Chains A and B, each alone.
Chain A
C-alpha cells in the first residue's frame, strides 16, 4: 500500500511538471457574426496570401453571415463554390520560407492547446537582443511576425490582441463550422434524455414494487 502511495504521489509530480512546460495565453473565442466577419477580414489581409483554407469555400462564408459584397471582392472571378486557396503557390511559398505554409482550416484543432495555442503563437513574437525576431511558443517557426507584435509600440498592442482574437475566433469556426449547431442540439438532447430517464426510473420503481 505504501509503495502504491509513493507511485501515485510521484505520478502527480510527473504530471505537474508536464503541465507547466507550455504556459499558453487563454483566449475566449467569439461566436457572433461580427467577430467572425472581423476575423475573416483579418485572415484575408494577413494570412491568406500564404496560407490556404482549403476546406472552406466562399459560399461557406456567405452562409455563415459574412457580407456577400466582401466575399465577392475576395473571390474575384472564382465561383462561390471555390475553396479559399492561398494566393501564393506551394512551390513559391516553399522557396520563400523554406517550408510550405500549412493549411489553416483545422489549425485551431491541430495543435496541443487548440485556439489558445494559435492565439499565444500569434502574439508570441519578440525581438531578441541581437535584433532577430523569434517566437516563444514555436521557436523553429518560419512565419514572419505578421501582426507586428514584436515591433509595435505599447499603445498599439491592445489593438493587435483584438486582431489576434478575431483571427483565432474565425479559425475556430473554420475548424468546426457545426460546433454552435452541435452544442445547441446537445441541450435539447440532454433535456430529452433527462425526461426520458426520469420516466424510465419511475416505471422501473413501479415494476419492481410488485416484487416483495
Chain B
C-alpha cells in the first residue's frame, strides 16, 4: 500500500528522488568537524523563533499604550508565557551566536572561495535580513532601550543624501518613533522570518549545487563522501543536544543576563537613558559607527563593515587551497581579527571616554585594515609557502589547477 502511494506520487512529483538526492543520500565529506554543525543549528533556531514568535503574537498587543503591559501579561498570566518569551528573547541571541560561529568557520576554512561565492553571498543576505528582523523585534516590548535604540538607529538614515530627513519620517511613519513605528515594525517583524525561510531555501539550493566545503579545503574524491543520513543526521542531533544545554542554561537560569535593565522601564520619549546600548550582537558594528567622528562617515563605515565580508572571495588571492589549515599567516590574521571583534564589542558596550574612543578607532582601523591587507598578505604568503614546500597533494592540486587554466587559455 505504502509503495503504491509513493509510486503514485513519484509519477507526479519527484518525491523519492528529491529525498535521496538532497536528504538521505546527499554526499557529504566525511572529514567535516563539529564546526560544520552550525548551519543546521541556525535552521533549528529559525524554526524555534518562528514557532515561539507565532504563539507570542497571540498575546502581544502592538500599541504604544498596551504593548509594555501585554509583555507583562505574557510574563505573569499566560500559561508558560514566561517560557515562550524567554525562549524567544534568548533565541535571538542564540541565533546570532550560531550565525557568527557559522561565519567564523567559513572565514577560517576559506569556505567562501570559488565555487562557493554565491553560497557565501546568500548567507550575507541572510545576515542582513536577520539583523533587520532582530532590530525590529527589539522595539516591540516598548521599553526604554527599545524606544531609544530604534530612535538612534532610524535616525542614522538621516545620512541618506538629499532626502535624509524624509527617509527617516518615511521609516518611522511619524516625526518620532511612535505608534505608527511600533505597528509597522510588528508587521514587518512577522513578515521577515518568512522571507528568511525563502532565502534559506536559496542558500540550501546553492549549497547542494556546490556541496559542503571541508577542513582540508580540497574537494574530496567521491570515495571520501558519505551519505548525509545516517552519519550527519545523528551528528547534527548530537550537536543539537549540546547546543540545547547551553541554550537552556540561559533560558531557565540567567534569562535576564542579556536583557538591559532599562528595558524593564516603559518607553518614555521625554527621558533619555544615561547610556543607550544596542544588543550584544550589534556592539562591534556600533563601536565602528561611533569611532568615525562624522555621522555620515560613521554610518557608511558601519554599513561597509557588515557588507565587506562579501568581498572575501576576491580579496583572498592565494592559490593555496582552503583556509587556515595550510596557511599559517592567514591563521594568525584570522585570530587577530576575532580578537579585534571582541575589542570592538567591549568598546561598543561602554560609554565613550577619550580612552575608549581611541581604542575604538584603532580597532576600527585594524578591522578594515585586515580586509584591505588580505590580497597582499595572501599573495606574499603563497609565494613564501611554495618556496618553503607544501604537502605533495596540495602542490599537485595547485599544479593541476594551473594546468587547467592554461588548457583553457589554449582553447581560447
Q: Are the C-beta atoms of B231 and A7 separated by less than 8 Å?
A: no
Q: Which listed residue, A109, A114, A182, A196, touches B82 by the CB 8 Å rule?
A: A182
A-B contact pairs, 9 of them (CB 8 A): A1-B336, A3-B362, A7-B363, A11-B346, A112-B261, A182-B252, A201-B238, A204-B234, A207-B230
- Asked if B128 is at the interface of the complex by the 8 Å CB criterion, the answer is no
- Asked if A178 is at the interface of the complex by the 8 Å CB criterion, the answer is yes
A161-212 with Cβ < 8 A to chain B: 175-178, 182-183, 185-186, 189-190, 193-194, 196-197, 200-201, 203-204, 207-208, 211
Name B's A-contacting residues (CB within 8 A). 30, 69, 72, 75-76, 82-83, 86, 226, 230-231, 234-235, 237-238, 240-242, 244-245, 248-249, 251-253, 255-256, 261-262, 264-265, 336, 339-340, 343, 346-347, 350, 353, 355-356, 359, 362-363, 366
Q: Are the C-beta atoms of A197 and B248 separated by less than 8 Å?
A: no
Q: Are the C-beta atoms of B30 and A190 separated by less than 8 Å?
A: no
Q: Are the C-beta atoms of B343 and A8 separated by less than 8 Å?
A: yes
Q: Are the C-beta atoms of B30 and A211 separated by less than 8 Å?
A: yes
- Asked if A110 is at the interface of the complex by the 8 Å CB criterion, the answer is yes
Chain B neighbourhood of A208, CB < 8 A: 231, 234-235
* Distance in angstroms between the alpha carbons of A130 and B353 in the assembled complex: 34
Top 6 closest A-B pairs, CB basis? A186-B252, A197-B241, A110-B264, A200-B238, A106-B264, A204-B234
- Closest partner residue, chain A, to B353 (CB atom): A14
Q: Which listed residue, B69, B75, B234, B347, touches A200 by the CB 8 Å rule?
A: B234
- Asked if A126 is at the interface of the complex by the 8 Å CB criterion, the answer is no
Chain A neighbourhood of B256, CB < 8 A: 109, 114, 176
* Distance in angstroms between the alpha carbons of A185 and B240 in the assembled complex: 20
Q: Are the C-beta atoms of A178 and B356 separated by less than 8 Å?
A: no
Chain A neighbourhood of B83, CB < 8 A: 182, 185
- Asked if A10 is at the interface of the complex by the 8 Å CB criterion, the answer is yes
Name A's B-contacting residues (CB within 8 A). 1, 3-4, 7-8, 10-11, 13-15, 18, 55, 60, 102, 105-106, 109-114, 175-178, 182-183, 185-186, 189-190, 193-194, 196-197, 200-201, 203-204, 207-208, 211
Q: Are the C-beta atoms of B339 and A4 separated by less than 8 Å?
A: yes
- Closest partner residue, chain B, to A102 (CB atom): B265
* Distance in angstroms between the alpha carbons of A114 and B259 in the assembled complex: 12
Q: Are the C-beta atoms of A55 and B248 separated by less than 8 Å?
A: no
Interface SS of A by simple majority: helix
Chain A neighbourhood of B238, CB < 8 A: 197, 200-201, 203-204
Q: Are the C-beta atoms of B72 and A197 separated by less than 8 Å?
A: no
Chain B neighbourhood of A109, CB < 8 A: 256, 261, 264
For A7, A111, A185, the residue with the greatest tally of chain B CB atoms inside 10 Å of its CB is A7
For A8, A110, A111, A211, the residue with the greatest tally of chain B CB atoms inside 10 Å of its CB is A110
Chain A neighbourhood of B226, CB < 8 A: 211
Chain B neighbourhood of A176, CB < 8 A: 75, 82, 256
Q: Are the C-beta atoms of B76 and A178 separated by less than 8 Å?
A: yes
9 additional contacts, CB 8 Å, given A109-B264, A114-B261, A178-B76? Answer: A11-B343, A14-B350, A110-B264, A177-B76, A186-B253, A190-B248, A193-B244, A204-B237, A211-B30
Q: Which listed residue, A8, A13, A194, touches B245 by the CB 8 Å rule?
A: A194
In angstroms, how far is the closest chain A Cβ from the Cβ of B232?
10
In angstroms, how far is the closest chain A Cβ from the Cβ of B78?
10
Q: Which listed residue, B251, B253, B255, B343, touches A7 by the CB 8 Å rule?
A: B343
* Distance in angstroms between the alpha carbons of A4 and B363 in the assembled complex: 9
* Distance in angstroms between the alpha carbons of A208 and B229 in the assembled complex: 11
Chain B neighbourhood of A7, CB < 8 A: 343, 359, 362-363
Q: Are the C-beta atoms of A183 and B75 separated by less than 8 Å?
A: no
